[in-house]
Amino acid sequence: MERPKKELTTTSFVILAHLAVQPWSAFELAKQVTRGLDLIWPRAESAIYEEPKNLVAHGLAQATKEKVGPRRVRTLYAITPAGRARLLEWMEQEAGLPQFESEALVRVFFAEHGTKEALLAALRGFERYNKGVRERLQRQLEGYLRDSGPFPNRWHVIGLGARFLLQQATVAEEWARWAAAEVQVWSSVQNPGAGRGKQLISEALAALGTREGVSALDKMAMASVRIRNARYEEVEEVAVLLTEAYQEYQPHLPSSLWQQYLDDIRNTGGRWEHSELVLAEEKGRLVGSVTFYPNGQAAGEGWPAGWAAMRLLGVRPAIRRQGIGKALVAECLQRCQSLGIVAMGLHTAPFMEAACTLYQQMGFVRVPPLDLDIGYGITLLAYYREL
């Protein structure tokens, strides 16, 4: 008796596309969909044992029996010429609109009807899930390169799609970490603080960009900017640049403290031995700098062992808002990743509002236990980012 046909769906073509790669048993298909397909089309997993039979009924696949032991026989499904033609026809049709579901985010958008603790629990669960996805994808892709993984003739399309999934998981993980740190300082989910709602909406608009915090427009503006290490003979020039960059903060500090701070800013040569002085250069002119400490404890600011640290990010005032500061911070983060460093910390002052916003946009979160009291009623705010 002929098997009744069910209407072909996107899931049907997902399975058919797998069969176009090579023949599979239903059990093998079930394993294969957990290598990333479950992240973009999870419903395929529930249809994995029935859909190949439906494809056979449509003449798009054929089933053959194969002995795999003295008592065991498996069914192997392979695409037919009609299946390849139908798959090509489907691939040329306009794709359906993407959909996204997250119960955790529903709870975020209606959090004022619950408690602060419930919102934090939802955010932390969301962070754990996306961290798990990111780590799983990283292991999988690293395995391809290390072990010359399967289907090398498909690596170009695998790499194309995997980059999206990796970035999506990373952005979601970093957002959840940032959001939890933000909520942590709220008095309640009904009252985050006067004017904070408007600030958060403004910051959301300002945060458009890549995960490194450098937007496409920033990159276009920075086409002529080069990031490099300083040469020792440039330390005096950098001291002048930093003095210019930090001059606007003088009114916020008592005169004696400002002089101490200015002396520290200008002491670029004194930091040379234990740090890396990173510069932004445009057409031969220095336009920005940052001091990167691979060993954060060498910065003398109380960072935990194993952390890197960053100090004295400065950009010439006349050319700010072009992504130069973001690019310098991104360079420090990239160096951390290259060195296998687990986190990077930095301190900034509450009155350095643009810097605080920049760091938050780039995934840094507050760590109040590491704040620094420098006297005169001024506390430097500690931020860090896990890597």
Under 8 Å CB-to-CB from 306, ≥6 apart: which residues? 341, 342, 343
Q: Are residues 37 and 109 in the same domain?
A: no
Q: Does residue 27 sit within a domain?
A: yes
Query: Is the pLDDT higher at 121 or at 50?
Result: 121
Q: Are residues 300 and 267 in the same domain?
A: yes
Q: How many domains would you assign to the chain?
A: 3
pLDDT tens readout for residues 132-174: 999 999 888 888 888 877 888 888 998 899 889 988 998 888 8
Give dist(CA 311, CA 380) in Å, integer: 12
Would the pLDDT of 188 be above 70? yes
Q: Residue 383: which H helix or E strand, with range? A: strand 379-386
Note down the domain range covering 109.
103-202
- C-alpha dihedral (217, 174, 96, 38), degrees to nearest 10: 140
Q: Does residue 97 sit within a domain?
A: no
Q: Does residue 57 sit within a domain?
A: yes
Per the structure block, which two tokens stand in for 104?
């955790």
* CATH of residue 291: 3.40.630.30
Beta-bridge partner residues of 79: 61
Q: Are residues 84 and 112 in the same domain?
A: no
pLDDT tens readout for residues 216-235: 445 544 557 899 999 999 99
Q: Are residues 140 and 225 in the same domain?
A: no
Last residue of a domain, one of 156, 178, 202: 202
Task: Give the end-to-end CA distance of the chain in Å, rounded to a whole number.
Answer: 59
Q: Are residues 325 and 278 in the same domain?
A: yes
Would the pLDDT of 177 be above 60? yes
Q: Are residues 74 and 120 in the same domain?
A: no
Overall pTM > 0.75: no
**DSSP category for residue 190:** S
Q: Are residues 301 and 371 in the same domain?
A: yes
Mean pLDDT of 282-309: 95
CA angle 166, 170, 174 (to 5 degrees): 175
